[in-house]
Amino acid sequence: MNKPLIVSVVLLMLLSLCSCASGNVTIDYGESKLYSNDDMDAAIQVIRETFDTFDGCKLYSLSYAGDETCEESLPYCQSLSEEQEITQCIVFGSSFRSPRNGGGAWAANAEYTWTWYLAKGAAGDWVLLTYGYA
């Protein structure tokens, strides 16, 4: 075998061993009159970027909490942000598994359900305000 082929095979093997913590995730967009799937996808991207920092955790699902929950949560989201005027709030539920051996605040190999609150103001981008136990 030539050297470039060997290097390519080794790289492919290494990539197959690495998996993104939020790889195959079930997304439930529900039905919304407030947000399009593109709006939700932008918020989901922010959640996934944060989740990817949870070493060893595996994200299973994200579910839109519904228009009513988002509207009811707007005052809560507004209370969390002093930096900008919040005009929109979006809420997702999640299900994920902690690292096999636990560590830090994680129980070993446990399933968690968390709620994620994101907001949008004049800047127009979703900002993650808070997340945690549902």
pLDDT digits (tens, 9 = 90+) for 68-102: 999 999 999 999 988 788 999 999 999 999 999 98
Write down the domain spans for the chain: 19-133
Q: Which position has the higher pLDDT, 133 or 25? A: 25
Measured CA to CA, the distance from residue 19 to residue 3 in angstroms comes to 26
Q: How distant, in Å, are the alpha carbons of 33, 34, 77, 87 from that of 114? A: 24, 22, 16, 23
pTM, two decimals, is 0.80
